[in-house]
């Protein structure tokens, strides 16, 4: 029999979450971010389910090409732009808009002798200090961009929030003000907000919002979970019990024997492990849903398996269903236990996990 390990993708949840973004930012257009294989949900699958969006955000030309080859005609924005002169023909061929964040890109555009001007989102670094032109350099760069024949006009301006996941951050209003200051004399559409901006910072909404993780049902904040923001998990990672064994008080479970049975007890083995993208760092006590009820993970996560404490479900049987995250168990909870964020767990589901799509 084939392995039961599955990622069930609920397309209705993606549509619902897009609607939530619309309600939260009703005066903005939505660039649905589908990079990293649609946050692990499938690039084309996610984009098609999110076809109500006004544009898509991707990180690479490869992703843009995959969307175009699948017949998607909506605007696509390359969030990291292009890196070499030879990219520009693909940018034109696929008709993608580019974030322009670095002098090296501007030099390529100034040297470019292509026919059609390229639509550009000029990126201002207002505090993230990752990509973008500094506020000091911005006026000079803007002059060059406006003079560049290979850049389509009018421009659009974009910045990225560094601390919007913290609802008390003083940095976020400062970043928003800086973008407005830079844009004051320009006829340009603006974009600031990621998911955290959409849900917690209305003043960041402006012309375009760029939700990513919330579309997949995950809360972008340091605390809380998607359902608390009326989001629905789009991925449910599931498997089943493949063994139920009884051990004696003091027996050690798994590699390095890190967990000892405090009494005679049943232990279940679930067919999923770090080879599937379940985090190896999830400690004993991380919740796992067995038959719809929580049981704690015990011992170290193996490549293909993990063990669970069956003291609360001694009647559990081989074949009983297990949910690792998704419906009934927010991925944020598992991520926090494992010292990471839901984003990483969703993106990291391994190719060997079978995908099952639900309408
Ligand atoms: C990934 C990304 C987003 C989406 O961020 P979420 O936190 O997933 O909503 C928005 N803008 C840019 C530039 C990004 O790289």
103-130 as b/e: b if 16+ CB within 10 A: eebbebbeebeeeeebbbbbbbbbbbee
Ligand 1 contact via 45 beta carbon (within 6 Å): no
Could you tell me if 271 and 304 are in contact, meaning their C-beta atoms sit under 8 angstroms apart? yes
Same domain, 180 and 278: no
Ligand 1 contact via 195 beta carbon (within 6 Å): yes
Atom of ligand 1 nearest to the CA of 79: 13
Atom of ligand 1 nearest to the CA of 197: 9
Q: Tell me, what DSSP letter sits at residue 272? A: -
Same domain, 247 and 317: yes
Same domain, 69 and 213: yes
Domain tally, the chain: 2
Average pLDDT over every residue of 115-142: 97
Last residue of a domain, one of 170, 193, 219: 219
pLDDT digits (tens, 9 = 90+) for 25-60: 999 999 999 999 999 999 999 999 999 999 999 999
Could you tell me if 263 and 249 are in contact, meaning their C-beta atoms sit under 8 angstroms apart? yes
Distance of alpha carbon 14 from the chain centroid: 12
Strand partners, 110: none
Distance 213 CA to ligand 1 centre (A): 8
pLDDT digits (tens, 9 = 90+) for 191-206: 999 999 999 999 999 9
Mean pLDDT of the chain: 97
Question: What percentage of the chain has pLDDT greater than the value 90?
Answer: 98
Question: What percentage of the chain has pLDDT greater than the value 70?
Answer: 100
Ligand 1 contact via 213 beta carbon (within 6 Å): yes
Strand partners, 151: 118
Higher pLDDT, 19 or 1: 19
> Residue 89: its pLDDT value, please?
95
End-to-end CA distance of the chain: 26
Closest C-alpha among 165, 252, 234, 231 to residue 201: 165
Distance 107 CA to ligand 1 centre (A): 26
Cα dihedral across residues 61, 118, 215, 188: positive or negative: positive
Nearby residues of 309 by Cβ (< 8 Å), 6 or more positions away: 265, 267, 295, 296, 297, 298
Ligand 1 contact via 210 beta carbon (within 6 Å): yes
Answer yes or no: is pLDDT of 171 > 80.
Answer: yes
Give the number of other Cβ atoms within 10 Å of residue 29's Cβ.
16
In the residue annotation, 35 being an active-site residue is answered as yes
Last residue of a domain, one of 190, 219, 248: 219
Note the pTM of the prediction, 2 decimals: 0.97
* 274 lies in some domain: yes
Q: Where are the alpha helices (DSSP H) in the chain?
A: 11-24, 35-39, 43-49, 61-69, 87-94, 103-111, 138-147, 171-183, 195-200, 331-337, 342-347
* 312 lies in some domain: yes
Same domain, 62 and 201: yes
* 165 lies in some domain: yes
Same domain, 242 and 215: no
Could you tell me if 264 and 247 are in contact, meaning their C-beta atoms sit under 8 angstroms apart? yes
Ligand 1 contact via 220 beta carbon (within 6 Å): yes
CATH number at residue 311: 2.40.37.10
> Residue 342: its pLDDT value, please?
98
Answer yes or no: is pLDDT of 2 > 90.
Answer: no
Same domain, 19 and 145: yes
Residue with CA at minimum distance from ligand 1 atom 14: 79
Q: Kindly name the residue from 216, 247, 255, 278 that is annotated as catalytic.
A: 255
Closest C-alpha among 279, 281, 292 to residue 320: 292
Same domain, 48 and 98: yes
* 230 lies in some domain: no
Same domain, 139 and 268: no
pLDDT digits (tens, 9 = 90+) for 134-162: 999 999 999 999 999 999 999 999 999 99
Same domain, 247 and 137: no
* 195 lies in some domain: yes
* 228 lies in some domain: no
Angle, alpha carbons 57-59-61 (nearest 5°): 100
Look up tokens 């959409």; give the residue.
198
Atom of ligand 1 nearest to the CA of 39: 8
Atom of ligand 1 nearest to the CA of 195: 9
CATH number at residue 126: 3.20.20.10
Ligand 1 contact via 33 beta carbon (within 6 Å): yes
Distance 32 CA to ligand 1 centre (A): 9
In the residue annotation, 94 being an active-site residue is answered as no
Distance 341 CA to ligand 1 centre (A): 14
Residue with CA at minimum distance from ligand 1 atom 4: 212
Closest C-alpha among 347, 269, 344 to residue 301: 269
Ligand 1 contact via 313 beta carbon (within 6 Å): no
* 225 lies in some domain: no
Answer yes or no: is pLDDT of 1 > 80.
Answer: no
d(Cα 101, Cα 204) in Å, to the nearest integer?
20
Last residue of a domain, one of 219, 253, 284: 219
Ligand 1 contact via 191 beta carbon (within 6 Å): no
Provide DSSP, 49-113: HTTTSSEEEESSHHHHHHHHHTT--S-EEETT---STTHHHHHHHHT-EEEE-SHHHHHHHHH--
* 250 lies in some domain: yes
Give the number of other Cβ atoms within 10 Å of residue 309's Cβ.
23
Ligand 1 contact via 204 beta carbon (within 6 Å): no
Answer yes or no: is pLDDT of 240 > 90.
Answer: yes
Q: Kindly name the residue from 35, 123, 216, 343 that is annotated as catalytic.
A: 35
Same domain, 72 and 164: yes
Query: What is the residue range of 277's domain?
Result: 235-358
Ligand 1 contact via 330 beta carbon (within 6 Å): no
Distance 183 CA to ligand 1 centre (A): 21
Judged by DSSP in three states, 319 sits in coil
> Residue 265: its pLDDT value, please?
98
Cis peptide before 154 (omega within 30 of 0): yes
pLDDT digits (tens, 9 = 90+) for 62-113: 999 999 999 999 999 999 999 999 999 999 999 999 999 999 999 999 999 8
Look up tokens 């359902």; give the residue.
227
pLDDT digits (tens, 9 = 90+) for 262-271: 999 999 999 9
């Amino acid at each position: 029999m084939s392995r039961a390990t599955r990622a069930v993708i609920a397309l209705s949840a993606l549509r619902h979450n897009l609607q939530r973004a619309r309600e939260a930012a009703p005066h903005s257009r939505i660039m649905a971010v589908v990079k990293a294989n649609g946050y692990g949900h499938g690039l084309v699958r996610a984009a098609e389910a999110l076809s109500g969006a006004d544009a898509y955000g991707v990180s690479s030309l490869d992703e843009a090409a995959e969307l175009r080859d699948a017949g998607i005609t909506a605007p696509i924005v390359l969030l990291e732009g292009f890196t070499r002169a030879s990219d520009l023909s693909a940018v034109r061929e696929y008709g993608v808009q580019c974030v322009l964040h670095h002098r090296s890109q501007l030099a390529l555009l100034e040297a470019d002798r292509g026919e059609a001007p390229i639509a550009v989102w000029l990126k201002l670094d207002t505090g993230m200090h990752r990509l973008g032109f500094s506020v000091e350099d911005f006026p000079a760069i803007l002059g060059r961009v406006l003079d560049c024949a290979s850049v389509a006009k009018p421009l659009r301006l974009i910045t990225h929030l560094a601390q919007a996941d913290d609802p008390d951050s003083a940095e976020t209003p400062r970043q928003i003000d800086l973008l407005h200051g830079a844009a004051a004399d320009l006829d340009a559409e603006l974009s600031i907000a990621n998911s955290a901006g959409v849900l917690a910072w209305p003043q960041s909404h402006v012309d375009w919002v760029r939700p990513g993780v919330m579309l997949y049902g995950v809360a972008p904040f340091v605390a809380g979970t998607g359902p608390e923001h009326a989001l629905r998990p789009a991925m449910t990672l599931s498997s089943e019990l493949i063994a139920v064994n009884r051990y004696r008080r003091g027996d050690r479970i798994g590699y390095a024997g890190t967990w000892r049975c405090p009494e005679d007890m049943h232990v279940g083995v679930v067919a999923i492990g770090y080879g599937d993208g379940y985090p190896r760092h999830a400690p004993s006590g991380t919740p796992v849903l067995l038959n719809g009820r929580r049981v704690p993970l015990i011992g170290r996560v193996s490549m293909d398996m993990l063990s669970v404490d069956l003291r609360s479900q001694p009647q559990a049987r081989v074949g009983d269903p297990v949910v690792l995250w998704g419906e009934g168990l927010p991925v944020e909870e598992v991520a926090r236990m494992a010292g990471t964020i839901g984003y990483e767990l969703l993106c990291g589901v391994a190719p060997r996990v079978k995908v099952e799509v639900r309408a």
